[in-house]
Chain A
Amino acid sequence: MTTRPRLHTSSTQVVGLVAFVLFGVLAAVFLTADFGSHATFEGATGITASIGYAMFNLDAGSLPSEGFLISFEIIDVILLGALAAAVMLGKRDDEEESDESVTMADGGDR
């Protein structure tokens, strides 16, 4: 543990400056860009309903959109997987091992 290089805390704050720089650049870009005129939802009704239809590939919405049924299902599976993973990760390891888990299998130690 002692031989490993560590970051100086002071320098970590300095690194944050990069974020400000990025913001500056982005802002400069956005403000100088010309976006021209744009279409809006003006006069449209039932935006939320249309979102619902789009998600299930139903053609009843009044606004243009693609079908998202498959994406919806994939997200469903991912959420389920994430749930399972979270439960697995969160579960404490077997009780008898817990008190002697000083040195972990991956080499970590406490």
Chain B
Amino acid sequence: MAEITAFAPAIAVLPFVSFLVALFAGKYLPKKGALAGILAMGGSLVLSLLMLYTVATGHAHQSTLYTWVGGEAVPYELTFGILLDQLSTLMLVIVSLISFLVHVFSLGYMNDEDEGGLPRYYAELGLFSASMLGFVFADNLLMAFMFFELVGLCSYLLIGFWFREAGPPSAAKKAFLVTRFGDYFFLVGVVAVFATFGTAAFGGPGVEESFPHLAELALDGEASVNTFGFAPRTWFTIVGLLVLGGVMGKSAQFPFHTWLPDAMEGPTPVSALIHAATMVAAGVYLVARMYGFYALSPTALAVIAFVGGFTALFAATMGVVKREIKQVLAYSTISQYGYIMLALGGGGYVAGVFHLTTHAVFKALLFLGAGSVIIAMHHNENMWDMGGLKEEMPVTYYAFLSGSLALAGIVPFSGFWSKDEVLFETLIHGLGDSPLLLGAYAMGLLAVFFTGFYTFRMVLLTFHGEPRSDTARDPHGVRWKVKGPLAVLGALAAVAGVINLAPVAELTGAHIDFLHSWLFHGPEGLNGEHYEELLEGVAGYHAAYPLGETLTMLASAAVSLGLALAGAGLAVALYRGPEPVEHTDKLGALKTVLFNNYYQDEYQVWLAEGLTARVARAADTVDVSIVDGVVNFVSSLSLFTGDRLRRVQTGIVSNYAALLTLGLTLLLVAFGVMQGWFL
């Protein structure tokens, strides 16, 4: 059975082949490459499930596929390899599943709408899936970084898909640039990891030296690594925070979140695939992937938790006032990834992965649902032009509702279980010896209220009430290619929570917290159990239950559910009825601030255009006037002296003769004096 892992690379190779097929032969194919993509993703999905099964039967796997740079002479080899463990196979399944569904959905969204450039679209989609899958099963940080960057490239290409318009190319540029800024820190981190440990392997079965393990040993004084003059713990924190830069860029965490709402300029299936379920997930996945390293540094964890908690609240407040359906979803994505960061920083490794999983499902669902609505509305995204779509498109409505309930965190939809566990884990660790976490927890908790509010505001405005425009009265119909993926995801969003019903397990004593056990049985050094030991032993995280274990859990769940319901209830109260009105004006000055996203874009644009461009122009002035000026001055100086010196050449024979004579005379006198002729 173990040999099946030999086919693991095909998970990424299949979509890559579909990329090549669509790129070079897409024009001649019946669906312009879509079928190749669907076929490839189907294959990847099947293979991913096979891998999941293989790992479940206890065959976690690591192997080096290709040595990028290696040999006797090099101090450390740079390799590509695959690491199949509990975490990566789970993620492989999620990514290939959602990518598969997005490919199917695209048939309805792109092909049926007669978009141009379809081969390019499917080629880019294939390349994106390939790089994302490659990133997921990467067995070392360098490979992860490389595929991380390729994912960024595909995101650039897909956001800018409609390149003939002005908006998408600009959004694409912004997305790449902002994430590139984060990736800069990531790259420094990768280089620092190599310089420190000499290896960037994550670990896994059969891996002797992995950098989290070496770091652990170094903290215990059992291994010596080059820490560049810092105390090992300080240095590991620095390295961890550097890598975190890339995570924050890709996962759109404050202050690198600004690119994500703009990225909605891309086709909606792309938004679903990239900006909800997979690419943005790459960032937090990376934290989970090298959790053994972060668990060594309480400072890094606290930063992660705080960034996460703050982003969750911050983005949720902005989502409250948006008019476009995709904008609301964009801010909710940022907010939800904040939760995942909060969980990981708060010591809830399982909770983080759990929320990552459920969020991937329900956010892909919501984006595809929004895509369906947008098809129906003839590409009008303004929610104030919608309304009453419930009757016209029931499948979309119910699927969307399922996703919304999950997003808001209403029991028993999947989002409730995961979000609850996130908050619970943060709370108990905060109540332990890490009071800092309580601040992050408070922000996360407050965000629950806003989440409930904007989610239901969106649902009510889109589907309920009376239609507010002609297109909403007579929407464009959608076909099975759209409805099929929605139905699948709708069902999943409702029930995905069963993979980890931790509270129920706690109450009933039944072992139904599957994800928990799944992640705790990973290979040595890469499993939840090991991470908990590290959190306890090195980072000093302890769980505390002031009300007893069960009661604390119930109280936490009750608080978060109550807040979610309160938010949802407020939304229902405000926007109920056939003709809802805008309430944003009541916010007064705050509304302006929220509509302008707290002026985050403004200051970042200022940083780019006001500051950097100005510095660049100043540098240019210096270069032209001073640096080049010196060069030109030297040249004009020699020209000038040459011009003056040549005047010695009068062209008059008598002058030359006079000079010659004078010279001869002087020479003679000089010789005479020196030789003593005249004595």
Q: Do chains A and B touch in the complex (CB under 8 A)?
A: yes
**Known: A7-B652, A28-B678. Is A18-B668 also a contact (CB below 8 A)?**
no
A32 → chain B closest CB, angstroms:
6
**Which residues of chain A are within 8 angstroms of B664 by Cβ–Cβ distance?**
22
**Known: A7-B654, A7-B655. Is A22-B678 also a contact (CB below 8 A)?**
no
As a 0/1 sequence over residues 652 to 679 of chain B, the CB contacts with chain A under 8 angstroms (1 = contact) are 1011001001101100110010000111
**Which residues of chain A are within 8 angstroms of B650 by Cβ–Cβ distance?**
5, 7
* Known pairs A22-B668, A28-B672 / 16 extra A-B pairs, C-beta < 8 Å: A5-B650, A12-B654, A15-B658, A18-B658, A18-B661, A19-B661, A21-B665, A22-B664, A22-B665, A25-B665, A25-B672, A26-B668, A29-B678, A32-B677, A32-B679, A33-B677
Q: Give CA–CA (A85, B672) in the complex, Å.
A: 43
Tally of contacts, chain A with chain B, CB under 8 A: 33
The range of chain B's interface size is 10 to 19
Q: Could you name 5 residue pairs across A and B whose Cβ atoms are closer than 8 Å?
A: A7-B654, A15-B658, A18-B661, A25-B668, A28-B672
The 3 closest A-B pairs by CB, nearest first: A15-B658, A18-B661, A22-B665
Interface residues of A in 1-51 (CB under 8 A from B): 5, 7, 12, 15, 18-19, 21-22, 25-26, 28-29, 32-33
Residues of B within 8 A of A (CB): 650, 652, 654-655, 658, 661-662, 664-665, 668-669, 672, 677-679
Q: Give CA–CA (A56, B439) in the complex, Å.
A: 121
A99 → chain B closest CB, angstroms:
29
B586 → chain A closest CB, angstroms:
86
The chain B residue sitting closest to A22, CB to CB, is: B665
Residue pair A18, B678 in contact (C-beta under 8 Å): no
A81 → chain B closest CB, angstroms:
23
Q: Give CA–CA (A26, B652) in the complex, Å.
A: 26
Q: Give CA–CA (A19, B650) in the complex, Å.
A: 20
**Which residues of chain A are within 8 angstroms of B652 by Cβ–Cβ distance?**
7
Q: Give CA–CA (A104, B661) in the complex, Å.
A: 34
Question: Chain A contact residues: over half helix, strand or loop, or mixed?
Answer: helix
The chain B residue sitting closest to A15, CB to CB, is: B658
The chain A residue sitting closest to B661, CB to CB, is: A18
Residue pair B678, A32 in contact (C-beta under 8 Å): yes
**Which residues of chain B are within 8 angstroms of A5 by Cβ–Cβ distance?**
650
Q: Give CA–CA (A7, B664) in the complex, Å.
A: 23
The chain A residue sitting closest to B650, CB to CB, is: A5
Residue pair A15, B654 in contact (C-beta under 8 Å): yes
Q: Which one of A12, A18, A22, A33 has the highest number of Cβ atoms from chain B below 10 Å of its Cβ?
A: A18
**Which residues of chain A are within 8 angstroms of B654 by Cβ–Cβ distance?**
7, 12, 15
**Which residues of chain B are within 8 angstroms of A19 by Cβ–Cβ distance?**
661
**Which residues of chain A are within 8 angstroms of B668 by Cβ–Cβ distance?**
22, 25-26, 29
The chain A residue sitting closest to B667, CB to CB, is: A25
**Which residues of chain A are within 8 angstroms of B669 by Cβ–Cβ distance?**
25
B547 → chain A closest CB, angstroms:
106
**Known: A5-B650, A12-B654, A15-B654. Is A29-B672 also a contact (CB below 8 A)?**
yes
**Which residues of chain A are within 8 angstroms of B661 by Cβ–Cβ distance?**
18-19, 22
Q: Give CA–CA (A7, B654) in the complex, Å.
A: 10
**Which residues of chain B are within 8 angstroms of A26 by Cβ–Cβ distance?**
668
**Which residues of chain B are within 8 angstroms of A28 by Cβ–Cβ distance?**
672, 678
Q: Give CA–CA (A53, B175) in the complex, Å.
A: 103
A4 → chain B closest CB, angstroms:
9
Q: Give CA–CA (A7, B656) in the complex, Å.
A: 13
Residue pair A29, B662 in contact (C-beta under 8 Å): no
The chain A residue sitting closest to B665, CB to CB, is: A22
B467 → chain A closest CB, angstroms:
91
Q: Give CA–CA (A12, B654) in the complex, Å.
A: 8
**Which residues of chain B are within 8 angstroms of A29 by Cβ–Cβ distance?**
668, 672, 677-678
Q: Give CA–CA (A18, B663) in the complex, Å.
A: 10
The chain B residue sitting closest to A16, CB to CB, is: B658
**Which residues of chain A are within 8 angstroms of B655 by Cβ–Cβ distance?**
7
**Which residues of chain B are within 8 angstroms of A33 by Cβ–Cβ distance?**
677
The chain A residue sitting closest to B678, CB to CB, is: A32
Q: Give CA–CA (A12, B657) in the complex, Å.
A: 12
The chain B residue sitting closest to A6, CB to CB, is: B652
Q: Give CA–CA (A20, B492) in the complex, Å.
A: 119
A15 → chain B closest CB, angstroms:
5
Q: Give CA–CA (A17, B677) in the complex, Å.
A: 23
B625 → chain A closest CB, angstroms:
35
A7 → chain B closest CB, angstroms:
6
As a 0/1 sequence over residues 55 to 66 of chain A, the CB contacts with chain B under 8 angstroms (1 = contact) are 000000000000
Interface residues of A in 49-86 (CB under 8 A from B): none
**Which residues of chain A are within 8 angstroms of B679 by Cβ–Cβ distance?**
32
